[in-house]
Amino acid sequence: MRVALYSYWRSSSSWRVRIALHLKGVPFAYRAVDLRQGLQFSDAHRARNPMSQVPVLEVEQTGETRHLAQSMAILEWIEERFPTPRLLPAADYDRARVRALAEHVNSGIQPYQNLAALRWLKGRMPGLETDWVKHWLSAGLGQLEAAVKDGAGRFCQGDTVTLADLYLVPQLSSARRFGVDLAPCPTLVRIEAACWELEAFRLAEPEAQPDAPKEP
C-alpha cells in the first residue's frame, strides 16, 4: 500500500493528519497544494476532492487508487487501518468525549478562520475579517477550555494522546497567528506543551514541511 497526503503547510486540517501519520509511523509522500496560488481549484485537485480543499489522502492498494477527504474521515480511516497507537479510547464514553472535543474545534472554531471566509469578509469590509476571527476564536477556545477540564490529564483525555490533541495543537497555533490572547486557556496551553514534547508533533509542524517558505 502507498499513501500520499495532499497538503498545504499552514493548513490546520492537513496538520492534524500529518500528526496522526507520524504518530502511527505510516510512511507517506507529501504532495503540496499551494492554497495561496489557488491550486486547490485546479482540475487535477478537483478530481481528487470536488470541494477543492486539503487535506486529501491518496491510498493506492491492489491496483486501485482511492481518495479520502475531510480530516475527521481521514483520521478515522487511519485509526481503523493502523490501530497502534490508538487515538480513540477503548471506553465508549471516553471515545465520545474525545470526538466531541475534536468536533468542537473542527466545526465550532476552525471554520471561522478559513481563508475563503476571511477573503470574502475582507472584500466587503476591509478590517472586519480581523475582528471576526479574533472574536470567534477567542470565544470558541474559551468554551473548549471549560469543556476539556473534565477528563484532562497530561493530554485532553487523561495521559494518552488522542484525536482531541491532534485538533488542539494546530488550533492554538492558528490562534496565536491571529493575535488571540490565550491567557484565559491555561489548561489548553499546558496540554499543548506536553504534545510538543513528542517527535510526531514536531515532525508535523508547518515549518517542517517541504512547501513551507524558507528563510532568505
Provide the pLDDT for residue 216.
Answer: 57
Under the banding of pLDDT at 50, 70 and 90, the label for residue 116 is confident
Quote the DSSP letter at residue 113.
G
Cα angle, residue 71 at apex, residues 70 and 75 outer, rounded to 5° = 125
Amino acid at 138: S
Of the pLDDT bands very low, low, confident and very high (cuts 50, 70, 90), residue 59 is very high
Domain with CATH 1.20.1050.10 in the chain: 92-201
The CATH-assigned architecture of domain 2-84 is 3-Layer(aba) Sandwich (3.40)
Lowest mean pLDDT among 92-101, 113-122, 183-192: 113-122
- Beta-bridged to residue 30, according to DSSP, are 5
Evaluate the CA torsion angle 205, 13, 75, 211 in order and state its sign: negative
Buried b (16+ CB within 10 A) or exposed e, 59-91: beeeeeeeebbbbbebbbebbeebeeeebbbee
pLDDT band of 11, cuts 50, 70, 90: very high
CA angle at residue 105 from 189 to 131, to 5 degrees? 85
Cell numbers 484532562: residue? 152
CATH 3.40.30.10 occupies which residues in the chain?
A: 2-84
Q: Judge contact between 186 and 140, C-beta under 8 A.
A: no
Give the percent of the chain with pLDDT over 90.
96
Question: Quick one: CATH architecture of 92-201?
Answer: Up-down Bundle (1.20)
| pLDDT at residue 115 in the model | 85
DSSP state of 4: E
